[in-house]
Amino acid sequence: MIALPAQRDPKGWLVAPALIFILALFIYPFAYGLMLSFNPMNGGGMWANYVTFFTDSSMWPTIIVTLKLAVPATIINVGVSVPVAFALRRTSPWQKFATTLLVVPVTLGTVLIADGMLTYFSPNGWFPQALQALHLYGDEVRLTHNYWGVLISLIVSGFPFAFLLTLSYVTGIDPTLARAAATLGANPWQQFRQIYLPLLLPGLTMTACLSFVQAFSVFPSAVLLGAPAGPTRVISIAASEAAFENYDYALASTIAIVMGFVQLLVVGGMLGARRFFYTGPVTGGKG
């Protein structure tokens, strides 16, 4: 028998452009930033920047501040998108209307949303004026330049995203499953609780992960709608200050790495929890 030389499939080279793209745009900058963070501008050993971050009281609390915004925003976005998506799960004019309406904020971008919100929610804006005119709330309504302004903007920009993802998960579940549950005696709440929710959980975890990452990296709205010196001094503001005000790129890289690490920790935790749920097909058999 003649041993044939191992033939390489030349089609394998088709992966090269994507690989180069990933290397050039993700791996290299990440590795560069990581190395940079271990080379402090002012000397003092490779961990000096990390020591600075976790001891400086203008830096480490930004993690807490950011979490205080990102966690509630994620919970609200995912939590509200479930009942709304569930209500709109059947193809109807309402579903089309809602999805069209909700795509708008996704396309607008955070700066435009922030600008609109400044007009709408500021003490002289429509919303506080309307509340006072209707005597629903007597005191001054403060929804801009504080925590609430940033949270609202995170919901406005994050909810459509969470909703559209959740809707695709909900509509992917075979509706005959709920009908089968109904014939077996399950009322609408039990159909949701016993059938839809368990089948949705893996998808919802994914949605929560993506929503969280998006919210945790909040920057423009924290500056424009928040109080960037105090209550909404999020971690990206600290990084931006280090890079563009103090020109300390090494420290800025350190903050970025810490930011990534916190996100990784939360996402890892959520995906880890997903293992305890059912993951698999969401249809009821062959056919």
Please state the closest distance from residue 78 (CB atom) to other proteins, in A.
20
Write down the least CB distance from residue 207 to other proteins, Å: 18
Determine, following the binding rule CB under 8 A, whether residue 5 of this chain makes contact with other proteins.
Answer: no
Q: Does 206 bind other proteins (CB under 8 A)?
A: no
Of the pair 100, 183, the CB lying nearest other proteins is at: 183
Asked if 201 contacts 274 with a C-beta cutoff of 8 angstroms, the reply is yes
Three-state secondary structure along 155-207? Answer: HHHHHHHHHHHHHHHHHCCCHHHHHHHHHCCCCHHHHHHHHHHHHHHHHHHHH
Smallest distance from other proteins to CB 247, Å: 54
Measured in Å, how far apart are the chain's first and last C-alpha atoms? Answer: 48
**How many residues form the binding site for other proteins (CB under 8 A)?**
26
Smallest distance, Å, CB 94 to other proteins?
Answer: 15
CA–CA gap between residue 68 and residue 260 (Å, rounded): 17
Contacts of 141 (CB under 8 A, 6+ apart): 121, 123, 127, 128, 131, 132
- Is residue 119 within 8 Å of residue 113, measured between CB atoms? no
247 lines the binding site for other proteins (CB under 8 A): no
Please identify, using beta-carbon distances, which residue of 233 and 274 lies nearer to other proteins: 274
Q: Is 42 in the site for other proteins (CB under 8 A)?
A: no
Positions 141 through 200 that interact with other proteins (CB under 8 A): 174, 176-177, 179-187, 190, 194-195, 198-199
**Does residue number 135 form part of the binding site for other proteins (CB under 8 A)?**
no
Distance in Å, CB of 193 to other proteins, minimum: 11
Tokens at residue 232, please?
Answer: 């909404």
**Rounded CA gap, 254 and 250, in Å?**
6
Q: Bin 205: left if φ > 0, else alpha if -120 < ψ < 50, else beta.
A: alpha
Write the binding mask 257 to 286 for other proteins: x where contact by CB under 8 A, - elsewhere: ---------------------x-xxxxxxx
Q: Tell whether the torsion through CA atoms of 109, 260, 234 and 161 is positive or negative.
A: positive
**Residue 220 or residue 284: which is nearer to other proteins going by CB?**
284
Is residue 109 a contact residue for other proteins (CB under 8 A)?
no
Residue with smaller CB distance to other proteins, 48 or 200: 200
3-class DSSP state of 220: helix
**Least distance to other proteins, CB of residue 273, Å:** 16
Site of interaction with other proteins (CB under 8 A): 174, 176-177, 179-187, 190, 194-195, 198-199, 278, 280-287
